[in-house]
Amino acid sequence: MPEINIRHLSHSVLQFSNLIGQTRLKKQFDWSLLPHQVYSQKEGSEIHCDVYLPKSEGPRPAVLVVHGGGWSSRTRVDTHFYSEQLAGQGFIVLNCSYRLAPHHLYPKAVEDIRDAYRWLIQNSARFNVDEKNIGALGYSAGAHLVSLISSWASVGKIGYEDIKLKMIAAGGGVYDFMVYPLSPYIKRFTSYYRDQNPELYLEASPLHQLGENLPHYFLFHAKKDELVEHDQMVRFAEAIKKRGGSVETFTVTKLSHIYTFVFSVKAIEKTILSFKKHLSKD
């Protein structure tokens, strides 16, 4: 897991990806935006999210969206185009920020995503959320975070028992920290290299925290991912199946880690179609 500069991915590139992402799925719903909502206050700081509300009657399924950036950079602006696409298909979307390393070390970011889920539940009547049909979507570090809160819920970890996600969509994620003895990203996130605290690495690895009653997973990953090996997805999918869970995988064949997130329209489309299939009242 080599260090690659992802801090300076330009806003113009993300805007271009937004245009590409809108070409494959016909919008089904108009939506309104509630920006900069405070979902938590920690250590004297407010933590924000943007809420996308489809203009539709009746309770709607919801998706928690979490950005990447090696747990230490980027913002929820990056996942604006994912959020727009989901809202256009009728999903309530909570696109959230979280506290970043190294100033805020593990497990603070994990706690923030848990609190974002709880805030969504607390506001379910206000937003007309169907509480039985909530999913989560994350890429890279975001994929790790949404997978970890669900894994911890599945093993009954104290403080996470109330997390009830019906589906997880995760792209380019790190699911097993144990294969990275000297990752600069994980060191920045946890303050440890693997052999300095292997117990923490196991605890922070979704693959090693899988219990029973798992949500449905849709995993996508670039075959040529130069930052997180494609094998992370393969092994995580195998572990989910061994636990009796259901999982779909999609391999992006020609793009790198960052460009899969920005330009893989097919991955976005398949993700949304899986949400439409699995987050329903049936």
Reported as a single tens digit per residue, the pLDDT across 164-205 is 999 999 999 999 999 999 999 999 999 999 999 999 999 999
> What are the tokens at 240?
């989910």
Domain boundaries, the chain: 17-278
Angle of helix 265-278 versus helix 80-88 axis, rounded to 10: 50
Q: Answer whether residue 225 shows pLDDT above 60.
A: yes
Alpha carbon separation from 273 to 139, 167, 277 (Å, rounded): 17, 12, 6
| pLDDT, tens only, 246-278 | 999 999 999 999 999 999 999 999 999 999 999
Write the burial class of residue 125 (CB in 10 Å: 0-12 exposed, 13-18 middle, 19+ buried). exposed
pLDDT of residue 17: 47
List pLDDT tens digits, range 45-55. Answer: 999 999 999 99
Q: Report whether pLDDT(14) > 90.
A: no
Q: pLDDT for 37-81, tens place per residue?
A: 999 999 989 999 999 999 998 899 999 999 999 999 999 999 999
CATH number for the segment(s) 17-278: 3.40.50.1820
The phi, psi pair for 256, rounded to 5°, reads -90, -175
Determine the Cα–Cα distance for residues 124 and 230; give it in Å rounded to an integer.
36
- Reported pTM: 0.93
For the segment 101-113, the average pLDDT, to the nearest whole number, is: 98
CA 158 remoteness from chain centre? 21
In this model, does residue 19 exceed pLDDT 50? no
Q: What pLDDT, on the 0 to 100 scale, is given for residue 59?
A: 96
Q: In the prediction, which pLDDT does 236 show?
A: 98
Region 206-219 average pLDDT: 97
What local confidence, expressed as pLDDT, does residue 25 receive? 82
Helix, strand or coil, per DSSP, at residue 54: strand
